A and B are shown apart, each in its own frame.
Chain A
């Protein structure tokens, strides 16, 4: 995939939260990956492992503690003029998890979608803005009649599509989808994912798709990064990752996916991890996963495993694969 153009390079990104009493929560700890133009990168991991924080740090809702996010050759984390900041904001957008709380209950759909247009194209007349909003509504399967309604009148799926239309309003290149389907029921999930894929083909968008539903992530992603307790443990093409998971955590995760075939399902062996996720304020020494890893060794307690390319485009951070 090296011929592909890198759109975003995340280098050693760290985001620590000061939780008081001198304690520090390392939500994202030294994460590096690239996102290529036009691809979908899936980001999976269990709740509280820092997926959303990573997404929000990339889009600068949070200021990174250290590390770089390089967008198209430009470092987004350095201080910039207001104009540059604005144009950067136009390129990156986000779709949120909760379809209801992501729309302002006091604004009409028209106002919600027009907000981004108004921020970036101040000179636009309200008639033109309206026309743009109607186009956007149609592209997500809604219509003119919905423009004067309030969010509480819509169903979850419709709200999520309004959220997508709002993100598309500023014509972004890169969209972070922060668990956009987690709050929806399965039939609507498919609708949203299909819509996202169609939009990707039409507009050449790049996605960072954050989720914890593994089969859905496999379906939509070109490559998948697996996160555990603030760090990325494995990154590979989605087929590669599913057929040949290397990291014990990934193996355990994948073994949890049910297979829609009763014969296989009966004999399927699940790797069940022991214990709970350690407190991120006090992560284990060495490899973060070692406390629950079925294959933990002596070295795992001492040395943090290196991020290495085991086979082409298949990265893993685990001592088992030390060359």
Chain B
């Protein structure tokens, strides 16, 4: 096996040409990050169910109060403490009979039916529950959005500029975390009049810290990535670096954190209302309704059950959706 020897010289070699032929072709259509995430989310049944429930409850919160002619604040003592009654749902207990089995509607000669019953002032609970859902969701979403804005700006600045700025800003956060937030919130509500604004402010004043930390952590991680360095060597300005490179890449974590902030805010608002620091009547939030219902739980259990179901379902849905979003937006974090 001896081949004729041939001197191998450099000029025998040529560069293999770069073929822009078949091997460079990419299959399918371009897939964006968000369409990919949406596809993954749809596969997750729990999260999808959560999403649908949230949409359903949000829609109900908006249109529910208008489905009956009753207003959430009109009192009529003649209609007080009526059990729930809905035509066609008698077999589910919506038959208008109270704990003693007496049909209150027949006994008092009322022709109207109240789907969720009425409270002790004769206000329609159906209207009040959906109005309360509306207010609770509103408080939670506004609080979460304010958390988001403050948190992203604070965390972003802290991580992006780094060094001494970061050091000082993180110490401030640590001081804020060191103060028990319940005390801050209670003091806040004592100073301000109890109401929607003061509840939101009280929750935001300590709530943004979590978001700020998440954003800071993410940006610190991204800052060392080579595409950020590349953008710097290309002469990209700081603002462009933040808005075009960092924020889109942190968006996933921001949304996930937001999704877990909303149920926490709903719960916290309910808690504040429950201990009497929340909204004042005749305004209703889910916490206020639960507190009212809890007082007369033995005899008029429906007053507690309906708002309790609504708040539970909303909380579970947001948590399911949040979990699903975390898996969809950041497959690496999947547990």
- Asked whether A and B interact, the reply is yes
Which chain A residue shows the least CB distance to B231?
A: A115
Flag if B26 contacts A146 (CB, 8 Å). yes
Nearest CB of chain B from residue A162's CB, rounded to whole Å? 11
Q: Interface segment, A147-155, A227-235, A282-290? A: A147-155
Which residues of B in the span 117-140 have a Cβ within 8 Å of any Cβ on A?
none
Flag if B229 contacts A94 (CB, 8 Å). yes
Q: Interface segment, B27-35, B57-65, B253-261? A: B27-35
Which residues of B in the span 225-247 have a Cβ within 8 Å of any Cβ on A?
225-227, 229-237, 240, 244-245
Assuming the contacts A94-B230, A102-B227, A143-B24, asked whether A89 and B33 have C-beta atoms less than 8 A apart, the reply is no
State the CA gap A103–B249 with chains docked (Å).
Answer: 12
Assuming the contacts A94-B229, A105-B33, A190-B16, asked whether A89 and B26 have C-beta atoms less than 8 A apart, the reply is no
Flag if A198 contacts B15 (CB, 8 Å). yes
Q: Does A142 contact B (CB under 8 A)?
A: yes
State the CA gap A106–B32 with chains docked (Å).
Answer: 8
State the CA gap A197–B26 with chains docked (Å).
Answer: 26
Assuming the contacts A150-B30, A191-B18, asked whether A115 and B236 have C-beta atoms less than 8 A apart, the reply is yes
Which residues of A in the span 101-122 have a Cβ within 8 Å of any Cβ on B?
101-108, 115-116, 119-120
Flag if B235 contacts A142 (CB, 8 Å). no
Q: A96-B230, A115-B231, A194-B16 are in contact. List 9 more A-B contacts (CB 8 A).
A: A94-B229, A94-B230, A98-B226, A107-B248, A145-B25, A145-B26, A163-B230, A167-B230, A197-B15
Nearest CB of chain B from residue A183's CB, rounded to whole Å? 11
Assuming the contacts A102-B230, A141-B19, A191-B16, asked whether A86 and B31 have C-beta atoms less than 8 A apart, the reply is no
Pairs A–B under 8 Å by Cβ, sample size 21 = A61-B233, A85-B235, A89-B235, A96-B226, A97-B226, A102-B225, A102-B226, A102-B230, A103-B227, A115-B234, A115-B244, A116-B234, A116-B235, A120-B235, A141-B19, A142-B20, A148-B30, A150-B32, A150-B33, A194-B16, A194-B18
Nearest CB of chain B from residue A175's CB, rounded to whole Å? 10
Interface core residue of A59, A93, A104, A116 (most chain B CB under 10 Å): A104
**Could you mark each residue 249-289 of chain B with 1 if its beta carbon is under 8 Å from any beta carbon of chain A, else 0?**
10000000000000000000000000000000000000000
Nearest CB of chain B from residue A297's CB, rounded to whole Å? 41
**Could you mark each residue 152-175 of chain A with 1 if its beta carbon is under 8 Å from any beta carbon of chain B, else 0?**
011000100001001101100000
Q: Does A129 contact B (CB under 8 A)?
A: no
> Which of A107, A108, A141 lies in contact with B20, CB distance below 8 A?
A141
Which chain B residue shows the least CB distance to A120?
A: B235
Nearest CB of chain B from residue A59's CB, rounded to whole Å? 6
Nearest CB of chain A from residue B182's CB, rounded to whole Å? 36
Nearest CB of chain B from residue A263's CB, rounded to whole Å? 15
Contacts of B244 in A (CB 8 A): 107, 115
Flag if B33 contacts A106 (CB, 8 Å). yes
State the CA gap A107–B230 with chains docked (Å).
Answer: 14
Q: Does A92 contact B (CB under 8 A)?
A: yes
State the CA gap A116–B224 with chains docked (Å).
Answer: 19
**Could you mark each residue 11-24 of chain B with 1 if its beta carbon is under 8 Å from any beta carbon of chain A, else 0?**
00001101110001
Contacts of A166 in B (CB 8 A): 230, 234
| Contact-size category for B | 20 to 34
Which chain B residue shows the least CB distance to A116?
A: B234
Contacts of A101 in B (CB 8 A): 225-227
Interface residues of chain B, those whose CB is within 8 Å of chain A, are 15-16, 18-20, 24-26, 30-33, 225-227, 229-237, 240, 244-245, 248-249
State the CA gap A182–B267 with chains docked (Å).
Answer: 52
Which chain A residue shows the least CB distance to B237?
A: A119
Contacts of A190 in B (CB 8 A): 16
Flag if B15 contacts A92 (CB, 8 Å). no
Q: Does A138 contact B (CB under 8 A)?
A: yes
Nearest CB of chain A from residue B116's CB, rounded to whole Å? 46
**Could you mark each residue 282-313 of chain A with 1 if its beta carbon is under 8 Å from any beta carbon of chain B, else 0?**
00000000000000000000000000000000
Assuming the contacts A104-B249, A153-B31, asked whether A143 and B20 have C-beta atoms less than 8 A apart, the reply is yes
Assuming the contacts A86-B235, A115-B231, A163-B230, asked whether A104 and B24 have C-beta atoms less than 8 A apart, the reply is no
State the CA gap A146–B27 with chains docked (Å).
Answer: 11
Which chain A residue shows the least CB distance to B247?
A: A106
Flag if A94 contacts B233 (CB, 8 Å). yes
Q: Does A90 contact B (CB under 8 A)?
A: yes
**Could you mark each residue 164-208 of chain A with 1 if its beta carbon is under 8 Å from any beta carbon of chain B, else 0?**
001101100000000000000000001100110110000000000
Nearest CB of chain A from residue B115's CB, rounded to whole Å? 47
Assuming the contacts A170-B234, A190-B16, asked whether A96 and B33 have C-beta atoms less than 8 A apart, the reply is no
Contacts of B15 in A (CB 8 A): 194, 197-198
Assuming the contacts A92-B233, A116-B235, A198-B15, asked whether A158 and B30 have C-beta atoms less than 8 A apart, the reply is no
Contacts of B33 in A (CB 8 A): 105-106, 150
Contacts of B18 in A (CB 8 A): 140-141, 191, 194-195
* Closest 10 A/B residue pairs (Cβ): A141-B18, A102-B226, A116-B234, A89-B235, A96-B226, A106-B248, A194-B15, A104-B227, A119-B235, A101-B226
Which chain B residue shows the least CB distance to A146?
A: B26
Contacts of A37 in B (CB 8 A): none
Contacts of B248 in A (CB 8 A): 104, 106-107
